[in-house]
Amino acid sequence: MAAAPSAAAAGTFRLGDMTVNRMGYGAMRITGQGIWGEPKDPEGARRVLRRAVELGVNLIDTADSYGPDVSERIIGETLHPYAQGLLIATKGGLTRSGPGGWHSNCHPDHLKKAIEGSLRRLRVERIDLYQLHTVDPKVPMEDSIGALARLREQGKIRHVGVSNFNVEQLREARKIVPIVSVQNRYNLADRASEDVLNECEKEGIGFLPWYPLAASSLASDTSPLIQAAKRHGVTPGQLALAWLLHRSPAMLPIPGTSSVQHLEENIAAASVKLSPEEVRELGR
């Protein structure tokens, strides 16, 4: 009988004073279609969360805008009281108008209310990692980050992260409060945040790539991705995740799914070993 996949196979990374396995789970998909409303299969969503923890995932990423409120609430209902060492990261700064509708609101007053809601739904007194979900063009970034810095001083946030930031914005934010993570879009097909990843690696900041799979756009029969996947006996998606883990020691993939089977496939990617030549070939 084959051993169960383990997130620990990805190795670890230190986020502030917390150590996590580098293969995490993104809880966006345990909501309804369009990341809106309740999931079609609520018990299935709970099974995915419980199985993720069983497989060694100790970094689960969510946001108050997923549902909205739904993902956080299901996590709190399913996993609280949390296992020792389990880091639940959440985000604030986006509001919703309907399926597919996302709007920035990083005003300090909104963030204060958002954090209170997240604390309540997640059933905690302090959020281990709270991430500003975006840069709001209507609000000076230093005001938004300053609000999180004050909430950190009040003990409601343990560590601060940012999302959808460029290098200059990251550097400005770090002048206001320590930043332990950046969550930007990054995958084999889209590496527009390469400079942000390099900055994170240099400064010891965790990089959480959102939309990490994007393998379908590279999955022609003759592509290096397909050829490498065949050599390793894995799916193109697993190979794409393995490449991310090999790309940088600061990389913390958080692939999301509403399926236990797909979750186990994703976690198994942590055990795929690529040679330096394969990493370079796929990168090209």
Q: Which residues are annotated as catalytic?
A: 66
Torsion 184-188-193-197 (CA) sign: positive
- Within a 10 A sphere around the Cβ of 17, how many other Cβ atoms? 9
* Backbone phi and psi for residue 175, each to the nearest 5 degrees, phi listed first: -75, -20
164 torsion bin: left (phi>0), alpha (psi -120 to 50), beta (else): left
- Within a 10 A sphere around the Cβ of 236, how many other Cβ atoms? 19
Q: By the 8 A CB rule, do 19 and 47 touch?
A: no
Is residue 251 classed as helix, strand or coil in its secondary structure?
strand
| Residue 68 preceded by cis peptide, ω within 30 | yes
Q: By the 8 A CB rule, do 22 and 12 touch?
A: yes
Is residue 131 classed as helix, strand or coil in its secondary structure?
strand
Q: How far is CA 83 from CA 4, 17, 56, 78, 184, in A?
A: 19, 17, 11, 12, 27
Q: By the 8 A CB rule, do 47 and 263 touch?
A: no
* Residue ranges of E strands in the chain: 12-15, 18-21, 25-26, 59-61, 87-92, 94-98, 101-104, 127-132, 157-163, 179-185, 206-210
